[in-house]
Amino acid sequence: MESWLFLAVIMLVAYFGKNMSLIIATGVVMLLKLLPVSNKIFSVLHTEGINWGVIIITISVLVPIATGQIGFSDLIAASKGPVGWIAIACGILVAVLSRNGVSLLTSSPQVTVALVLGTIIGVVFLKGVAAGPVIAAGITFCLVSLLHLSF
């Protein structure tokens, strides 16, 4: 019963915060919870969901390459300036930090509660986005702004 209440509170916060992604995600989890095989589904989602999400995000990042919107010339142009090099460094940093984050979640699953709360607060009240690769762009933006470089 406590899990239903917790999910309902998340749904309400998402609704009042007008965050459609969190509303959909919470709704899907609540619907899955109604299924007799929900424990098996949740077990698979818990262990594989992050990997699936990373795959979907990676696919969306690769689409502009597949459609020809981004090519080698864009890569070369991006690497000629400091913004491009900061972006490359931030991409590497986020990949390494993410590896350590996954390791932390595996060894200390109770941290998940704090991460969920922080993500909900950031998404709903600060209009953030719950996505990994976007973090690299956000860090890049912060560093570029800090160094007063132009885009």
81 and 144 Cβ atoms separated by less than 8 Å: no
50 and 27 Cβ atoms separated by less than 8 Å: no
Reduced to 3 states (helix: H, G, I; strand: E, B; else coil), residue 127 is: coil
Confidence of residue 63 (pLDDT cuts 50, 70, 90): very high
Burial of 120 from C-beta contacts in 10 A (0-12 / 13-18 / 19+): buried
Is residue 31 pLDDT above 80, yes or no? yes
d(CA 68, CA 147): 32
Q: What percent of the chain has pLDDT over 90?
A: 32
Query: Which of 51-55, 65-69, 77-81 is modeled with the greatest confidence?
Result: 65-69
What torsion, rounded to 10 degrees, do the Cα atoms 28, 30, 32, 36 define?
A: -170
Q: What is the pLDDT of residue 135?
A: 65
d(CA 25, CA 65): 29
Is residue 88 pLDDT above 80, yes or no? yes
Going 45 to 50 to 51 to 54, the CA torsion angle's sign is positive
Q: What is the pLDDT of residue 129?
A: 76
- Mean pLDDT over 76-95 rounds to 87
Domain residue extents for the chain: 71-151
Q: What is the pLDDT of residue 131?
A: 64
Confidence of residue 140 (pLDDT cuts 50, 70, 90): low
Higher pLDDT, 51 or 82: 82
- The residue written with tokens 């709360």 in the block is 117
Is residue 151 pLDDT above 60, yes or no? no
Of 40, 14, 38, give the one whose Cα is nearest residue 27: 14
Q: What is the pLDDT of residue 137?
A: 63
d(CA 49, CA 110): 18
The mean of the pLDDT values for the chain is 83
Tokens of 122: 């950031």
Q: What is the pLDDT of residue 67?
A: 96
